[in-house]
A and B are shown apart, each in its own frame.
Chain A
């Protein structure tokens, strides 16, 4: 019989949200960052755990590249990205000797680091922990879900773009959530359309945008929020 899990370093974390997508490049890291900033704006203390080990984007998005990770009695101290210490971040990006260094690891080694990130980072008191993930339904996702399961995450925010190739991968991600018992908090359609800065025409990426969405909404039964493409992105 398994012993009860020691709350340890996640004892002070009230809510955990995973940001997922089957598809790459839809804006998971951007949305994780924007979500954290929005929560901070609402007066919350937020942590971001970046488990994209091969392509860690969050340090750059929060202008925290090159920062060092220090140790304390309870483990690793996450990097605070602001003076007020209201957003803290842990990413493999901080553990690399150079930003161009590739993390060329097979699954088992990735799993081990993710377990460490969950157990050995001294998050302290947080209202929200946002977990940014790489695209797919593989080692990183299984490791994160298993390590976080004892702490009852709120669920998953699933990000997509309107194109059918994205929606196709996201349907698979929703299956992953169902199979692993991860509740889907909602789906976000990012880069829905683009407003031409020259003529102000709204260009939709695909004819089937709304149609493809209706199908996803039916299978997941979740609410929809749509974000248009900005004129420029980071």
Chain B
């Protein structure tokens, strides 16, 4: 991985190679010559690589903790139920990679071969890649600035040998920053089918999700639709529903109507999910959730 100086203005910026923090950077001359503003050759390389990938879906949300990774994992598993469908799940949340834990793949390592990095296969037809597989301990923090995270995402898209894939699901961190811009930029020549946007019903989430929708419009990323997660909580004891995150401003339904975007569905808050992520594949008993 290349080291970038603190305060790097970005290779595409007008200050590239000319800023004070550029002094001493090995790429200074390159940037100053304007080469940094030229399209990254990796974009074409990724376009070639993605020729074996039929559909690419980004899972986004402006808001953290709404269930992007959980949804991405369930979508990947759902698509892979048909053993003739090849599915790939790419986790580009570099600082908070949740996918290895959710998929029960913690501790797995990535192997290199002549054709690139091999994804970790959880089923014969479901391969996974995450920075989590590159860390030697679960306590390792990835304390990287934007340019280094962008480099990792470029490597994931260019150097992972996915093989023939029907669906590539890309799980993202919350926000509208480096990771999102890089994913869209590096896949720009490869055609992204679109984005599925996850939200929870309350306004504090919808507020961030409207920004994410705005981001999609800005970068011309088609929006497949919105999923409202954690719509209602179903009590394991009495089975009655409660809205833990009340949709005081109408929830995703009203937002989608206002912005003319499809609402793909609503998913309840299910305590089983927290358990499954941790315990693997044995469904827990109802009474385990209830404190005596």
Interface residues of A, Cβ cutoff 8 Å to B: 22-26, 29, 54-55, 57, 60-61, 99-108, 110-111, 134-139, 141-142, 161-165, 168-169, 171-176, 179-180, 193-194, 196-199, 201-208, 212, 219, 229, 231-234
What residues of chain B lie closer than 8 Å to A141, measured between beta carbons?
143
Residue of chain A at shortest CB distance from B241? A198
CA distance A233 to B242 in the complex (A): 12
What residues of chain B lie closer than 8 Å to A208, measured between beta carbons?
278-279
B246 within 8 A of A: yes
Pairwise interchain contact A25-B63, C-beta atoms closer than 8 A? yes
What residues of chain A lie closer than 8 Å to B240, measured between beta carbons?
196, 198-199
What residues of chain A lie closer than 8 Å to B235, measured between beta carbons?
196, 198-199, 201, 203
Pairwise interchain contact A138-B208, C-beta atoms closer than 8 A? no
B163 to chain A, nearest CB (A): 28
Which of B3-11, B51-59, B111-119 lines the interface with chain A? B3-11
Pairwise interchain contact B142-A137, C-beta atoms closer than 8 A? yes
What residues of chain B lie closer than 8 Å to A164, measured between beta carbons?
101, 274, 277-278
Residue of chain A at shortest CB distance from B65? A25
B176 within 8 A of A: yes
Q: List 12 A-B contacts (CB under 8 A).
A: A23-B64, A55-B174, A55-B175, A57-B208, A108-B10, A111-B145, A135-B96, A137-B141, A172-B138, A172-B139, A206-B275, A208-B278
B158 within 8 A of A: no
One of A24, A202, A232, A233 near B173 (C-beta < 8 A): A24
Task: Please indicate which of the listed interface residues A111, A196, A231 has the most CB atoms of chain B within 10 Å of its own CB.
Answer: A196
What residues of chain A lie closer than 8 Å to B279, measured between beta carbons?
207-208
8 cross-chain pairs, A with B, having the tightest CB-CB distances, nearest first: A25-B65, A24-B64, A107-B146, A136-B95, A54-B175, A175-B141, A199-B238, A102-B211
Contact flags B133-176 to A (C-beta < 8 A → 1, else 0): 00000111111111101000000000000000000000001111
Residue of chain B at shortest CB distance from A173? B141
Pairwise interchain contact A138-B146, C-beta atoms closer than 8 A? yes
CA distance A175 to B141 in the complex (A): 6
A193 to chain B, nearest CB (A): 7
CA distance A205 to B278 in the complex (A): 11
What residues of chain A lie closer than 8 Å to B147, measured between beta carbons?
107
B26 within 8 A of A: no
B237 within 8 A of A: yes
What residues of chain B lie closer than 8 Å to A169, measured between beta carbons?
95-96, 98
Pairwise interchain contact B69-A196, C-beta atoms closer than 8 A? no
CA distance A135 to B64 in the complex (A): 7
Task: Please indicate which of the listed interface residues B10, B173, B240, B278 has the most CB atoms of chain A within 10 Å of its own CB.
Answer: B278
A1 to chain B, nearest CB (A): 18
CA distance A57 to B139 in the complex (A): 28
What residues of chain A lie closer than 8 Å to B290, measured between beta carbons?
201-204
B176 to chain A, nearest CB (A): 5
CA distance A57 to B211 in the complex (A): 12
Pairwise interchain contact A55-B95, C-beta atoms closer than 8 A? no
